[in-house]
Amino acid sequence: MRYQWQNRKNPAWDYPEVYSMVTSHYDQIQVETNRSLGQVRLEVKTLRGEHYESILRQGVVLREKDLRTGALIDLGDILSIYAKEVSSLPDTPILSLIGGNYGILTEFLGHAERITVSDKSFLKRLLGLPKTILQAVLRWLKGTRSQWGYYRRHIRFADIFDMGLIAALTYGVFTYNFDYLSAGATLLGTALFTGLVDWMIRKREPWLLKVYASMGVALFALYRGYFFQ
């Protein structure tokens, strides 16, 4: 298994360098380091809500703590469970500062990759926002185009007939009394009826574009009739 570690750096922090990862069981491991002091803070947060901390300096354990309760406890057996994951940390000097405690190796053996995460300023994130929005819009358009191709390939003559029937009945009800509520209810009922015909008589799934279009227009008509009529 190849582990992925995220690496962040900030000189203003008490521990200027931070590595973090999520295990295959969705537990979170964080290794914070102050190289000038030779100090490492090892933090583990489990999926069950347990939260532990161990602070080491030059291979000597200074403090072990249950952060959920605030109690000082022996974490030898608990943190040794994560020895394999922490040993995959792609930074030999930090592993040597841990000093072999909890069964953690003192040398990186090459079974992980480091992903550098830059802490951008607010101005940089703001300037990069248009690019992010443009990329999201392009992804949406690409997905919409592929979905339209799927709907177009699955249309049948019966679906065209159903759409015509739905539109005709809805228009007839609306022009009879100009009531959006009645038109929306008719549209919704007719669409449901044609869907049941697809399921029970034609023995196939309803055409999704027919379902989405009918539901969207019916909900708009009901909303328009209930609040503005």
- Look up residue 208 and give its two tokens: 């999704």
pLDDT of 57: 94
pLDDT of 218: 81
Give the C-alpha separation, 69 to 52, whole Å: 10
Amino acid at 172: G
Mean residue pLDDT of the chain comes to 81
Lowest mean pLDDT: which of 58-67, 108-117, 164-173, 176-185? 108-117
Starting at the earlier edge strand, list the strands of the sheet with 3-9. Answer: 71-72, 60-66, 51-57, 39-45, 28-34, 17-22, 3-9, 112-116
> In which band, very low, low, confident or very high, does the pLDDT at 223 lie, cut at 50, 70 and 90?
confident
> In which band, very low, low, confident or very high, does the pLDDT at 17 lie, cut at 50, 70 and 90?
very high
Tell me how crowded residue 93 is: count the other CB atoms within 10 A of its CB.
12
Mean pLDDT of 158-186: 82
Q: Is the dihedral of CA 85, 91, 94, 99 positive or negative?
A: positive
pLDDT of 98: 95
The helix-helix angle for 208-228 and 157-177 (nearest 10°) equals 10
Mean pLDDT of 116-145: 61
DSSP symbol at 7: E
pLDDT higher at 70 or 116: 70
Q: Is the dihedral of CA 191, 196, 201, 203 positive or negative?
A: positive
Cβ neighbours of residue 175 closer than 8 Å, sequence gap 6 or more? none
- Look up residue 120 and give its two tokens: 């951008």
Query: Is residue 121's pLDDT more than 90?
Result: no
pLDDT of 216: 83
3-state secondary structure of 204: coil
Q: Out of 79-83, 117-121, 158-162, 213-217, give the one with best mean pLDDT.
A: 79-83
pLDDT (tens digit, 9 = 90+) per residue, 173-222? 888 877 788 888 888 888 888 888 877 877 776 766 677 778 888 888 88
Mean pLDDT of 123-142: 65
> In which band, very low, low, confident or very high, does the pLDDT at 42 lie, cut at 50, 70 and 90?
very high
Give the C-alpha separation, 82 to 44, whole Å: 9
Task: Measure the CA dihedral 172/175/176/182, to 10°.
Answer: 80
Tell me how crowded residue 118 is: count the other CB atoms within 10 A of its CB.
9
In this structure, what are the phi and psi dihedrals at residue 175, rounded to the nearest 5 degrees?
-70, -20
Cβ neighbours of residue 29 closer than 8 Å, sequence gap 6 or more? 20, 21, 22, 23, 42, 43, 44, 82, 85, 86
pLDDT of 166: 83
Q: What's the whole-model pTM score? A: 0.50
Query: Is residue 52's pLDDT more than 80?
Result: yes
